[in-house]
Amino acid sequence: MIINMTPHPVNILDENGKEVATFESAGQIRLASKSVKGVNIDGIPTSRTVFGEPEGLPSRTWVCPDCGKVIKSEDLIIADTAGPVCPCGENELDTVYYIVSQLVKSALSGRADLLVPAEVVRDSSGNIIGCQSLGR
C-alpha cells in the first residue's frame, strides 16, 4: 500500500508518458522550520532556514492482506518468518509506504517506508506532470 503525504497528486507515467497510477494527497508530512535572521549584505537582509522535527509523520505501519487490519510498529508480533505477522493469524504483513518530499526523506533517511517522486517528467513549459518511478 502506498499513501501520498505530499500536498498534491503524484502521477506515475510510463516511458511513453501514459499515466499508469495517480496517488491523491492524503495529508502532508513536513519538517518544522523557522527563519533565523542573518547579517545585511549591501543593505539587504539575509536569513537561513533551520529545520526541526517532522510534523504529521505516522508510526511505521503495515497492513494485513487478508483481514485489512493496519498494524503500527508498537503493536507488532514478530514471528519466525521473513517479516512481522498479523495478530489474526500467521499472515505476513505488507508494508505501508508513504510518498514524501525529498527534504523529508533526506531528514529521515533511516525510514525505509518513505518514497519520493523520481525520474520527474515535465511538459514543454517545464511544469512537472508526473514521474516514472518512486525513489527509495
38 is a domain residue: no
Assess whether 81 and 108 both reside in one domain.
Answer: no
Residue 87: is its pLDDT beyond 80?
Answer: no
* Higher pLDDT pick, 100 / 62: 100
What would the pLDDT profile of 12-66 be if each residue is shown by its tens digit? Answer: 999 999 999 999 999 999 999 999 999 999 999 999 999 999 999 888 888 888 7
Residue type present at position 115: L
Assess whether 90 and 107 both reside in one domain.
Answer: no
Which among 87, 82, 102 is positioned nearest to 5, based on CA atoms?
102
Q: Where are the alpha helices (DSSP H) in the chain?
A: 102-107
The count of domains in the chain is 2
Domain that holds residue 18: 1-32+50-57+96-136
For the chain, the C-alpha Rg in angstroms (whole number) is 19
122 is a domain residue: yes
* Higher pLDDT pick, 65 / 107: 107
Average pLDDT of span 129-135 = 96
Assess whether 102 and 82 both reside in one domain.
Answer: no
The reported pLDDT for the residue numbered 33 is: 94
Distance CA 128, CA 73 (A): 35
pTM for this one?
0.79
Assess whether 100 and 136 both reside in one domain.
Answer: yes
Residue type present at position 2: I
Q: Which three cell numbers stand for residue 75?
A: 503493536
42 is a domain residue: no
